[in-house]
Chain A
Amino acid sequence: EAGVAQSPRYKIIEKRQSVAFWCNPISGHATLYWYQQILGQGPKLLIQFQNNGVVDDSQLPKDRFSAERLKGVDSTLKIQPAKLEDSAVYLCASSLDQGYSYEQYFGPGTRLTVT
């Protein structure tokens, strides 16, 4: 079974530029998550999708971050404009969420450096 795919793996941009990250979840997984992991901290949930709909985006800085999940499969996370404090690893995860199968599977992450 293929895992969660993310691209790019690394990205360096200047502040005020825009950037987009892509995630392809495990086939059949209804729920998709984006986490932000700042160096020295645990991952923090930014947004959770179930199929096409947003379940939780309470910690998404909506003035600069946006995310979409078209057709309930792939997802993109965008930052525009980027700030220095956005430097972090952005992790995508997915889960089946049927019965007791709620385990989240994580992708390798995208390391963003904002200079």
Chain B
Amino acid sequence: AQSVTQLGSHVSVSEGALVLLRCNYSSSVPPYLFWYVQYPNQGLQLLLKYTSAATLVKGINGFEAEFKKSETSFHLTKPSAHMSDAAEYFCAVRPTGGGNKLTFGTGTQLKVEL
């Protein structure tokens, strides 16, 4: 079964600093990978997705992620954090063979400090 592991349930950065949220996947074949953001009392919003095309994926709000097969990783980065980035971030995996079932990680709460 496919799964993702998010390292660090809480990450704190200063405003303007680099954001790095870690996600490692477990799958026998490279899957489709996603990052979602969840603001308080809201549903999940897709930030970006990897679907076996370019390994460096750019998403909304200045976020990007790089698929590294050798490291089975799909870490999320943003060069300069903004206060509005404070939220919970979820990595998710989907099999490429269809079915569209997403399996989510446990999430990383990002705190941005002045």
Chain A interface size range = 20 to 34
User: Does chain A have a CB within 8 A of B74?
Assistant: no
**Chain B residues within an 8 Å CB radius of A70:** none
Give the number of chain B interface residues (Cβ < 8 Å).
Answer: 22
Asked if A41 contacts B100 (CB within 8 A), the reply is no
Complexed CA–CA distance, A4 and B46 (Å): 14
Within residues 13 to 70 of chain A, which ones have a CB less than 8 A from any CB in chain B? 31, 40-45, 48, 55-56
User: Does chain B have a CB within 8 A of A108?
Assistant: yes
Given known A41-B107, A43-B90, A103-B46, contact A108–B41 (CB-CB < 8 A): yes
Within residues 36 to 64 of chain B, which ones have a CB less than 8 A from any CB in chain A? 36, 41-46, 49, 51
Complexed CA–CA distance, A111 and B92 (Å): 22
Asked if A104 contacts B104 (CB within 8 A), the reply is no
Given known A103-B46, A106-B44, A107-B43, contact A31–B100 (CB-CB < 8 A): yes
Complexed CA–CA distance, A41 and B107 (Å): 7
Interface of B is mostly: loop
Given known A55-B99, A103-B49, A109-B43, contact A40–B90 (CB-CB < 8 A): no
User: Does chain A have a CB within 8 A of B106?
Assistant: yes
Asked if A43 contacts B41 (CB within 8 A), the reply is no
User: Does chain A have a CB within 8 A of B13?
Assistant: no
A38 to chain B minimum Cβ distance, whole angstroms, is 10
Given known A41-B107, A42-B107, A100-B51, contact A106–B43 (CB-CB < 8 A): yes
Q: List 11 A-B contacts (CB under 8 A).
A: A4-B43, A31-B100, A43-B90, A43-B102, A45-B102, A48-B100, A55-B99, A91-B43, A95-B100, A105-B46, A108-B42
